[in-house]
Amino acid sequence: MPLDKPIGPTDPQARLRSIDAVRGVALFGVLLVNMYNFGAYSPEWTGLIDRMSVTAMHSVFETKSWRLFSFLFGFGFALQMIKAETQAAGSLWFYIRRLVILFVIGMAHALFYDGEILMKYAALGMILVVFRKMQRRALLVLALILLAAFPVGNMIVSLTDDESAVQSEENPSLAERREGHPYLGSLTDVFEANAPAVPPRIWSGLHNPESSLAVFAMFLLGLYVGRSRIIHDIPQHLPFIRKVFGWGIGIGVTSAIAEWLLGQYSGYAVFRENTACIGTQLLGDILFAYGSTALALGYAAAIVLLAQGPRWSAVLRPLEDLGKMALTVYLSGTLMFTMLFYGYGFGQIFLIGPAGTTAYAVLFFVIQLLICSWWLRRFRFGPMEWAWRSLTYWKVQTLRLSE
């Protein structure tokens, strides 16, 4: 029954620590995949280590990290909605305020990097309110249906494309792409180039593997887990979590291997030029859409299970600290890689290959781990989390632990 006390922020000590560790892992994948967008995808990088780096990034992190990150947002939104309904007599206004503020933060972030995701999350979070009381089994069914939008939609687009209108043009080289690129200009040039990303076009490209429908499907899965309170009572749900781990990793790895074989022998590719026939393309897309989701959930279950042991709990502590500062870490990651690639920094866009990009991503992530551990020994929240909470609750939150 709803309570009449005013809603307030969650005590940091009451957080679900294993979920913070999962969020930390997802953040590394997000950082790595974002950094690959600045030249590391190019086929010009033909060295063995570069090709191995691309394969590892695609098989282990690409889309899986975004799936996991979206799942965690859905899970967090579920907790916020439940909290709103139980602490504020059913009011969801605080949840709406939280999303509006997130959207504004995303608008500012998009001016630096047009691949930002916060605005889309905030917009879809508004829609998620409608589904907050849907039966849990229905949430699962709807999520599975939405995940099919990529393979089915991609097949329809391929069948209806006018092949005669498609012209085979060579992709520009990395050197040609550098010439006059706005990211190598001033900060104003960067803002002007990225301004069209605001507001997000959440209903465009719905047949793409990382479309809004796929993101919303993961929101629904996160909502399902949050409402089921699986993570709130892990000992009771250990058999279920072990099944998610086994089936998730098994299906995910099998799908990744099958997808790789299709790419080697049939010309199938998800994000690059696809030369496979329609049937092979549909099979590959199904493997990728559902395999990526299964692997992401398998990752989450694996970390939750590891966190139950005292030895691994200590090992995962730095990831937990990073997960507690997810918004700060996500935005600071953009600050780091834009300083590396953009003209107002070191201007290395289109100059660093897959192996080098992976190395820089690891370096940036280690720096974030160290800073987060240092920060949370002194403060209750990350700086952006503090600002977000203060604006959401219309009250300046206590930041220092000593207070």
CB 294 within 8 A of CB 255: yes
**Which residue type occupies 162?**
D
pTM listed for this prediction: 0.91
Instruction: Identify the band that residue 403 occupies on the pLDDT scale cut at 50, 70 and 90.
Output: low
DSSP state of 402: T
| Contact by Cβ (8 Å): 383, 401 | no
Q: Is the pLDDT of residue 164 over 80?
A: no
Residue that wins the pLDDT comparison between 252 and 81:
252
Backbone CA torsion sign across 99, 105, 111, 113: negative
The pLDDT assigned to 166 comes to 43
pLDDT of residue 10: 53
> What is the per-residue pLDDT across 316-346, written as a single tens digit (0 to 9) for each?
999 999 999 999 999 999 999 999 999 999 9
What φ, ψ does residue 248 adopt, rounded to 5°? -65, -50
Q: What is the pLDDT of residue 54?
A: 95
pLDDT, position 167? 43
pLDDT average, residue stretch 145-155: 95
Q: How confident is the model at residue 87 (pLDDT cuts 50, 70, 90)?
A: low
pLDDT at 133 (0 to 100): 87
The answer to whether the CB of 322 falls within 8 A of the CB of 16 is: no
CB 153 within 8 A of CB 207: yes
Q: What is the CA radius of gyration of the chain?
A: 21
Residue 64 tokens, joined? 């899986």
| Distance of alpha carbon 140 from alpha carbon 225, whole angstroms | 10
pLDDT at residue 312, as a whole number? 86
Query: Distance of CA 87 to CAs 132, 275, 313, 368, Å?
Result: 16, 55, 31, 34
Q: Give the pair of three-digit tokens for residue 378.
A: 């002194």
**pLDDT tens for each residue of 172-204:** 899 999 999 999 999 999 999 999 999 998 988
Token pair listed for 291: 């395999």
Q: Could you count the other beta carbons within 10 Å of the beta carbon of residue 108?
A: 12
Cα 300 to Cα 294: distance, rounded to the nearest angstrom:
10
Residues contacting residue 381 through CB under 8 Å, at least 6 positions apart:
12, 324, 325, 389, 397, 399
Which residues lie across from 400 on neighbouring strands? 379
Q: Parse the chain into domains and list their residue ranges.
A: 12-158+174-392
* CA angle (288 as vertex; 284, 291 as ends), nearest 5: 125
Asked whether 304 and 234 are in contact (CB, 8 A), the reply is yes
